Amino acid sequence: MNEPQTPAEASRFLSYTLQVNASPYGGEAADLAYGFARALVKKGHRLKRVFFYRDGVYHALAGAMPPADETCRIARWSELARVHGVDLVVCSAAAQRRGVWNPEAEAELAPGFRVAGLALLVESIVESDRLLIFG
């Protein structure tokens, strides 16, 4: 967890929302998003939410098993959520479109991910100091 901060210390940091549009294995953008998110929490900045949209919703697929000598691009986000309490949100419409989530089948998402609508992204953007879009 982050070190506790006094209000004066906390005010030195900005709050961030990250929008991840890139699929986990499609290129550099998803790696940059993860690296940026990890750097934010390690430095004590406020990462309000990571919102996975468009092909970014593939990050929430459960059961990914890449070869042992390769970093799992899904598990590392789950780990970030578990250790630092980062809110990982997958867009419901985009996830349904791609079969990542189905409200009727109760399909399981990767650990640490939850489903919500675009309204939550808008709320996040309004309440954060910065929005960064990856992919």
Partner 1 sequence: MRCLFVFRHSPWDGSRGAESLDLLLTLAAFDQEVAVLLLDDGVWHLHPGQSPGVLGLRDLSALWRNLPLYGIGASPWVEDESLRARGLQDGDLSIPVRRIQRKRLVAFWNRFDVILRD
Q: What is the set of active-site residues?
A: 91
Query: DSSP 3-state assignment of 115?
Result: strand
**Of 9, 39, 93, 102, the one binding partner 1 by CB under 8 A:** 93
**Of 10, 64, 75, 125, the one binding partner 1 by CB under 8 A:** 125
Interface positions, 58-87, toward partner 1 (CB under 8 A):
none
**Crossing angle of helices 75-84/28-42, nearest 10°?**
20
Q: Using the rule CB under 8 A, is 101 a contact of partner 1?
A: no
In sequence order, the 6+-apart residues with CB closer than 8 A to the CB of 24 are 30, 58, 59, 64, 73, 74
Q: Using the rule CB under 8 A, is 122 a contact of partner 1?
A: yes
Q: Using the rule CB under 8 A, is 126 a contact of partner 1?
A: yes
CA gap 32, 13 in Å, rounded: 21
Closest CA to 88 of 76, 106, 70, 97: 76
Q: Using the rule CB under 8 A, is 116 a contact of partner 1?
A: no
Q: Using the rule CB under 8 A, is 53 a contact of partner 1?
A: yes
Which positions touch partner 1 (CB under 8 A)? 53-54, 93-94, 97, 117-119, 121-123, 125-126, 131, 133
